[in-house]
Structure 1
Amino acid sequence: MAKIFVETPRLILREIISEDLDRIFLLDSNPDVMRYIGVEPVKTIEQSVETINKIRKQYQENGIALWAVIEKESNLLIGWSGLKLLTEPINGFENVYELGYRFLPEFWGKGYATESGKAVLEYGFHQMNLDTIYACVDIENSGSDKILKDKLGFKSKGNFVDQLDNATCNWYELEKEKFNKD
C-alpha cells in the first residue's frame, strides 16, 4: 500500500510505487511533457523502472521525493509533484529543496499543478519546517513560469544556464513567511 502524504479536494499525493510503472512511462515518454525538462523522453519501460527506483531511493535517503498525483475522480496517476533535495549543485545551490511537477497534457489547464504545488509547499513549510523552497523553469515554459510566480507566489532570483541542456532557466525562491496557501 502506497503511503499517502497529502490529500486535496481533487487529488491524492502519495509515494510513487512500482505499480505506477505504466503511467510513469506514459508521462516521461511524452515529448510534450518533456519539452522543457532538459532530457529526452524515455524510450523504454526499463528507463521508467530506473526512474521509479531513483525516486524510491530518494524517499529512503532524504525522507522526501516526488509524489504520484492521483486524480480522485478517475483514480488515475495524472502526473507527479513534490520536493526534491538537490544533492548536486544547480545554479550554485546545493542541499536545498526544489519544488517540481509534471503532468500529462490532457490534465494541463485544470489547476492541478497549482493545487498540488500548494499542498507540497504546505507540507514542506509546515511538516518539514523548511524556511525556503526553490524552483526553476525553462524561460520558454511560460505556463509553468506563470504558475510559480502568479499562483504559488515564488519570487524571481534571476536566471542561469542549465548545464544539462544549455537552456536558460528562471530561478525562484519562496520563503515560509511569504507562503499563502489560499
Structure 2
Amino acid sequence: MTTLLESDRLIIRNWIPERDAEQAFAIYSDPEVTYFLGNGSRVTSIESQRQRLIENIERSRRRNNGTGSWAIVEKETTTIVGTILLKQLPDKDGLPTEDYEVGWHLRRAYWGKGYATEAARIILNYGFSVLNLPVIYAVVKAENHASIRVTQRLEMKRVGRTNKYYGIELLLFQQDAPVRIERGTGAEGNDK
C-alpha cells in the first residue's frame, strides 16, 4: 500500500485496482453518488470498475505531473470511503486546460462526516506545497448543495458560474496558494 498523505482520520493512497475494485464499485454504482458527476454515468460491474481504475492510473502516469485520483481510506476501519482528486480541468472538448481542480466523491454511507472537507484540505495543501500551484479550483453543479458547503468549509472563494469546463454550466470556486513570507533575504540589518 502506498500511503501518500494522511490526517488523523484518513489515509490518501494510490488505488490498487485488483484489491479496490469492489469498494470503488460500491461508490460509483450508486446513482445518488454519480448524479452530480459529469454525465452521471455509472459503472455496471466490478470488472468495468477495475478497468476504469487501471485507466485512471495510466492517465496519471502519462501526465507525470503529480496529479491524479486517489482512494480516501478511513484509518479506523481501512474502508475506502471515497475518492479525492487533483487534476487539470478539461475544456468542453475534454482537453486539459491550465487550471487545476480539487474534487471529491464519497460513498453515501460516509456523507456528512466531514471526510470530503478533510481529504480536500490534505490535497489542497499538497497542491500548494508540493506541486507549487498558484490557485486550485472546484467546480460544482448548482444543485449540489453538499459540495457547495464543502467549498465553504474550505474557505474557497465563489467566482460565479462558468461554461469553461466539462461543456456544462458549473459554479466555480477558487483557493489561492497561501502567501509565503521569505526569510533571510539579506535586506534586514543593512543600515550600517
| Pairwise TM-score range, normalised by the shorter structure | 0.7 to 0.9
SS at match of 1:171: strand
Corresponding residue number in structure 2 for 1:157: 159
Normalising to structure 1: TM-score of the pair?
A: 0.87
Greater Cα offset, 138-147 or 92-101: 92-101
Residue equivalent to 2:36: 36
Between the aligned partners of 2:92 and 2:177, the Cα distance in structure 1 is 21
Q: Is the 8 A contact 2:92 2:166 kept in 1?
A: no
> Cα gap change, 1:165/1:49 in structure 2, threshold over 3 Å: closer, same or farther?
farther
Superposition deviation, residue 49 in structure 1: 2.1
The 5 A counterparts of 1:55-66 are 55-62=56-63, 63-66=66-69
Q: Is the 8 A contact 2:91 2:164 kept in 1?
A: no
Secondary structure of 2:140's match? strand
| 1:32-181 to 2 correspondences below 5 Å | 32-37=32-37, 38-62=39-63, 63-86=66-89, 88-89=90-91, 94-148=97-151, 150-161=152-163, 166=168, 168-177=169-178
Q: Which moved more, 1:88-97 or 1:22-31?
A: 88-97
- Superposed displacement of residue 5, structure 1: 1.1
Any gaps of 5 or more consecutive residues in structure 2?
A: 180-192
Q: Is the 8 A contact 1:58 1:64 kept in 2?
A: no
**TM-score relative to the length of structure 2:** 0.82
Match of 2:185 in 1: none
Q: For the structure 1 residues 51 and 11, does the alpha-carbon distance in structure 2 shift closer, same or farther, using more than 3 Å as the test?
A: same
Partners of 1:132 and 1:163 lie apart in 2 by 16
Partner of 1:14: 13
Identity of aligned residues (%): 29
Question: 1-side partners of 2:88 and 2:165: how far apart?
Answer: 18
Question: 1:16, 1:55 within 8 Å by CA — same for their partners in 2?
Answer: no
Q: Amino acid of the residue matched to residue 132 of structure 1?
A: V
In structure 1, runs of 5+ residues without a counterpart are none
Contact 1:3-1:15 at 8 Å conserved across structures = yes
Per the alignment, do residues 143 and 41 of structure 1 end up closer, same or farther by CA in structure 2, a change over 3 Å counting?
Answer: same
Q: Secondary structure at the match of 2:178?
A: helix
Mapped partners of 1:126, 1:163: distance in 2 = 25
C-alpha contact (below 8 Å) 1:11/1:116 kept by paired residues: yes
Q: After superposition, give the CA deviation of every residue in 1:1-37 in whole Å (9 maximum; x if it has no partner).
A: x321101000000011111100111110001101111
In structure 2, relative to structure 1, the CA distance for the partners of 1:67 and 1:93 (3 Å cut) is closer
Q: Which amino acid aligns with 1:101?
A: W
